[in-house]
Structure 1
Amino acid sequence: MRDLIPFIKLYQKHWFGLTIGMLLSFVTLAAAIGLLTLSGWFIAASAVAGFATIQNFNYMLPAAGVRAFSITRTAGRWGERVLSHNTTLKLLADLRIFFFDKLTPLIPGKIGNLRDADILNRLIADVDAMDHVYLRLVSPMIVGILGLFSISAFLCWFDLKIGLILGIILLLLMFILPIIFFVLGRPHGIEITQAKACLRISILDWLQGHAELQIFGAANRYREQAHRDETNLLNAQRRMAAITGLANGVLLTANGLTLVLILWIAADGISGNYPNQMVAMVTFATIASFELMIPVAGAFQYLSQTVTSAKRLNEIIETTPETQFNPNGYSNTAKGDIVFHSVSYYYDGHEQPAVDNISLHIKAGEKVALLGRTGSGKSTLLKLLTRSWDPSQGHIEFDSVPLSAWRESALRSSVAVVSQRVDVFNGTLRNNLSIAKPLAKDEELSDVIKQVGLSVLLKGTGLNIWLGDGGRQLSGGERRRLGIARVLLRDAPILLLDEPTEGLDVQTEQNILFLLLEHSKKKTVLFITHRLVGLKEMDVVCLMDEGKIIEKGSHQTLKAAGGHYAQLIGKQFITPHVNQPHTLT
């Protein structure tokens, strides 16, 4: 239950709507019990009046009461469902935002080992399970307790013994049955939550990697795994349904036995009177009283499923980010001066540093290339500059201010990044570009798309073209150029380019490099590559290997030195100076 505390606190924001929803639920329950109780009494009283030939029987008032209870029950049920579910959906929306806010600072650090499908399952299925806290636990229990005391007090008004006996029976059932069915449903609730996560992961793996799985002949194996996970989920749900059926059976049995007991007590009359129509009223009130027990019996049955989901969410919510920003930190926009002071970084569980004692000064407006083979530590340096991680040793400064002292918003506005993986969201081209510049006009967005050679996307629906999940409508080169378009819109003083021309043909590569160089004439540029492309335009070239800078200087200086860089040039073709581009298509 302790795992539910962070989520129950979120209910404070919607306390009014949830309270009104519970009041409407209580009114609906009271109307339902009143309808059956009054109807039973009315029918019995009418029959007695007929047999006894009573001349002054008032049937108008009870009939009006039956109609009033019927209307109240219908209207109350509609109002309670609308208000409670509307408030619950708003609460779940707030919970998703709360969860996402906690998730974002953890990327790509402590949750790097989690699968995308697992995170998606937590954001959707596990958050959805939190509606059980209110709809199946808090509301039924509060309404049930209020209803229990109300029906007991009502019957005590007519016969103290019957009212107390029925109240005690209902109170015992209310506290015993939830515990029993919580224990019975606990393993299956945990199994259902875990099976949902496994099924979502296996299906997403199969769908996203379908083409590659077909090529390597593994599609059937992944599909069979999805079927096994689906079977496990269905079996767990079937066992939980059996417990639900058992709960309903126990309630019906308890209702029947209680009814027999109350009839036996009331057989000699109510409050010492001769048996009359009041016996029917007590009988129907007993039957109706078990309506408040129906949701209570199952209230704790699904609690284990909810608690398991809460634990999975708390694994993210309670995790401390590896990098924490100071909300009152340095808030100016950077000028572009970057200094690495003996920076080293170790990945978790690795004794060998990914970056080893790097000291480097990049002056404002300077263009520096980091060259090296895959795994030499180039991209790690980029992650350290954006504070995805903090250095294990040493520190980094922007404009003589330690990176750890910067406010996050100031750092993000100072840096524009083209990473190796360009994230494309399932939305329109306009939405995907507006991330970089929310207030940009359509003309500006169209211009930058033309500059990066994606004019073909503007045909037809133009900026409203739908890019699909993960940019499925785009090729790898088009996604790369979309990332470059975002950098052009961002217009930050520091550009971090991680393999910006990877996957592009030679001519397009030349055009994109020229475009980036024109855009960054007065900006600080860190150009990361493992290819000998565009290096002549760089002020400084740093050759990295095994996390260290082994050579540093201009292209001409390093070439003349005859070291590792000169050997690379001798083995590979290096592109000439970037020329005026041809028209991009």
Structure 2
Amino acid sequence: MKTPWITLLLAIIHGATGLFILVISAWFIAACAIAPAGFNYMLPAVVIRALALLRIASGYGHMWAGHRDLLARTAGLRHRLFKRLTNHRIGRKAQLADALSEHTETLASVWIACISQLASALLLLPLLLIAGVMLSLPGTIWLALLGIGWLILTVWVVVKSLAIAVKQVAAQHELTEQSEAYLRCSSLWHLYTQAQHERPTAMRLWSLETRLNTLSQQAVWLLQALCFVMLGLYAWYAGAEVYANPLAMILPLVLFAAPDWLGRAVATTTFAARFQNAQDALASLEMRKVNLQPAVSGHVRLQNFCAAGRHVAPVSANLPSTGIVTVNGASGAGKSSLLQAIAGEIPYRGRKYCAGITLQPGLVENWLYVEQTPVILQATLRENLAPARKICDEAIRQVLKDLGLSSMKNLNEWLGAGGRSLSGGERKRIAIARALLAEKQVLLIDEPFEGLDVFSCKTLAQLFNKIAETKLLIIATHIGVSQLQVTTSVTMSQACQSDKLCEHA
């Protein structure tokens, strides 16, 4: 994407005006003490006020332009990720959620969070040094030493933060593996004694994050200590001719304020660790290629069908071309894995037919699986509902109204951290709205009524009835909704018994 020159320019103006206010104010204070009669007090005061207004305006402008650029870059990075996922699937759902939210936001925010601050400091230090030489500013050599000290401190922080980043990646992988291994044994937890429960802990990861934050604070403290030492040496070695010069006040105030105009640049260099982690995480996503088959519609037939690698009995069933098919069964019976296998999201055993055509393993272009715990992006409502293509606002609002979410009128409202928090039912209905806007012929929806109140279940069931007039809806649920007009149903336990009887016969 293009370099955000406006954001950079506004950040530099914001930093420069703050420094100029400091310099002119220092000179003005000293000049007033020794000014002769007829000294124009008005002009410096007007200049200081004008710079203050410019600093305020550039600060707000930088925030506005920076966040616009952040949103655009986040959307661009997510679109690239969606393109990578066209014929691929990520094995671990946690990786997908992190990639879509945390990692893309980290990469997108590098300009506003880090580069703008560093660019401002790298430009202001040489300008201040040049101005000191041209104006014969007392103590100009200390400005050069301040720049060298800041540069050394910045490099030190970057090197230390990147070393911590490597440890964070290793700790994250270790925590992920431990968590997956622990959850795989969930069916045996009731057999464990208290001593046998070795729960995975994120303590090491939290400790490294704390070290990163501490490193940022230490950098600012070291910079402040350096400035105080330089200020003491400047005052110790300054002669009488220096104290008689109004310009001599500039250096002490510049050093006093250095933690403000240079400290933020040092502190943000720890962002290098987060940026490196995000880059590595997106580059090392574990993806598996899946075939994408052309759109097909019609009656669906499953023959000895089940998800591969799961301890569930196969299912044989005939499903209509339109209508509602419910998949029932106890928890752990394999309802979710059956829907994922039918959709082609995971490998399967057995055969799958549609309109008499044998479907090969992989995704079908006009079939869509809606997961039980949907991923909600930290983005606007519009980007959550239409993440990969543009859809007119009227269509989006109509779907939201049909799902009982008509209160969400502002499509630019931010969802997630720093914005609107969603209940479990709202998250589920937003995922269903996203699926309906995708306009697929076959929708496989996992537990749509879970977490909804009675009225919302009734509204959703009525909407499903209307959609099922032209589409096939396969719904896995353990909640009975009387308003749902079910065409046929598949009960996992009954299907298992039926298969065993057929196999015995």
Q: When the two structures are superposed, what TM-score results if normalisation uses the length of structure 1? A: 0.54
Report the counterpart of residue 35 of structure 1 in structure 2: 25
Alignment partners' CA distance in 2, 1:479 and 1:39: 68
Asked if 2 retains the 8 angstrom alpha-carbon contact of 1:341 and 1:359, the reply is yes
Asked if 1 retains the 8 angstrom alpha-carbon contact of 2:327 and 2:474, the reply is no
Deviations 1:334-385 (A, max 9, x none): 43265889999756xxxx89899x9999785799999999988775453244
Report the counterpart of residue 134 of structure 2 in structure 1: 157
Alignment partners' CA distance in 1, 2:104 and 2:368: 33
Alignment partners' CA distance in 2, 1:71 and 1:287: 22
Q: How many residues align?
A: 440
C-alpha change, 1:486 and 1:64, in structure 2 (3 Å) is same
Query: What letter corresponds to residue 10 of structure 2 in structure 1?
Result: I
Alignment partners' CA distance in 2, 1:108 and 1:235: 40
Report the counterpart of residue 64 of structure 2 in structure 1: 86
Matched, 1:307 2:283: no
Return the match for 2:118 from 138, 141, 161: 141
Query: What letter corresponds to residue 36 of structure 1 in structure 2?
Result: A
Deviations 1:400-436 (A, max 9, x none): 6977998x8xx34xx47687x376989xxxx9xx99x
Shift of 1:169: 2.3
Runs of at least 5 residues in structure 2 that lack an aligned partner in the other structure: 176-188, 387-394, 405-422, 430-448
| Equivalent residues in 2 for 1:162-201, closer than 5 Å | 165-166=141-142, 168-183=144-159
Alignment partners' CA distance in 1, 2:96 and 2:499: 35
Asked if 2 retains the 8 angstrom alpha-carbon contact of 1:21 and 1:84, the reply is yes
Shift of 1:173: 2.4
Return the match for 1:59 from 39, 62, 75: 39
Report the counterpart of residue 335 of structure 1 in structure 2: 297
| Equivalent residues in 2 for 1:230-249, closer than 5 Å | 237=213, 240-249=216-225
Shift of 1:16: 2.3
* 1:322 partner SS: strand
Runs of at least 5 residues in structure 1 that lack an aligned partner in the other structure: 1-8, 50-56, 200-212, 270-274, 447-464, 518-524, 534-540, 546-561, 567-585
Asked if 2 retains the 8 angstrom alpha-carbon contact of 1:343 and 1:395, the reply is yes
Report the counterpart of residue 208 of structure 1 in structure 2: none
* 1:563 partner SS: helix
**Bigger CA radius of gyration:** 1
Shift of 1:172: 1.6
* 2:486 partner SS: helix
Deviations 1:292-346 (A, max 9, x none): 67443553444335523552465247637535687xx95xx64326588999975
Report the counterpart of residue 284 of structure 1 in structure 2: 249
Deviations 1:514-538 (A, max 9, x none): x132xxxxxxx8x5431549xxxxx
C-alpha change, 1:489 and 1:422, in structure 2 (3 Å) is farther
Deviations 1:45-70 (A, max 9, x none): 42xx4xxxxxxx5411xx23421332
C-alpha change, 1:475 and 1:26, in structure 2 (3 Å) is closer
C-alpha change, 1:250 and 1:364, in structure 2 (3 Å) is same
Greater RCO between the two (CA within 8 Å, min separation 6)?
Answer: 2
Asked if 2 retains the 8 angstrom alpha-carbon contact of 1:190 and 1:305, the reply is no
Alignment partners' CA distance in 2, 1:242 and 1:399: 69
Alignment partners' CA distance in 1, 2:428 and 2:324: 32
When structure 1 is superposed on structure 2, of 382-391 and 393-402 the one drifting more is 393-402
* 1:287 partner SS: helix
C-alpha change, 1:417 and 1:299, in structure 2 (3 Å) is closer
Query: What letter corresponds to residue 308 of structure 1 in structure 2?
Result: R
Asked if 2 retains the 8 angstrom alpha-carbon contact of 1:418 and 1:496, the reply is no
Instruction: Compute the RMSD of aligned alpha carbons.
Output: 6.2
When structure 1 is superposed on structure 2, of 479-488 and 371-380 the one drifting more is 371-380
* 1:59 partner SS: coil
* 1:497 partner SS: strand
Q: When the two structures are superposed, what TM-score results if normalisation uses the length of structure 2? A: 0.60
Alignment partners' CA distance in 2, 1:172 and 1:260: 21
* 1:308 partner SS: helix
C-alpha change, 1:532 and 1:403, in structure 2 (3 Å) is closer
* 1:86 partner SS: helix
C-alpha change, 1:404 and 1:78, in structure 2 (3 Å) is farther
Asked if 1 retains the 8 angstrom alpha-carbon contact of 2:78 and 2:104, the reply is no
Alignment partners' CA distance in 2, 1:443 and 1:293: 52
Report the counterpart of residue 21 of structure 1 in structure 2: 11
When structure 1 is superposed on structure 2, of 290-299 and 22-31 the one drifting more is 290-299
Deviations 1:5-52 (A, max 9, x none): xxxx4x63x432342332343233233323323443x23642xx4xxx
Identity %: 11
Alignment partners' CA distance in 2, 1:243 and 1:382: 53
Asked if 2 retains the 8 angstrom alpha-carbon contact of 1:498 and 1:529, the reply is no
Alignment partners' CA distance in 2, 1:470 and 1:23: 45
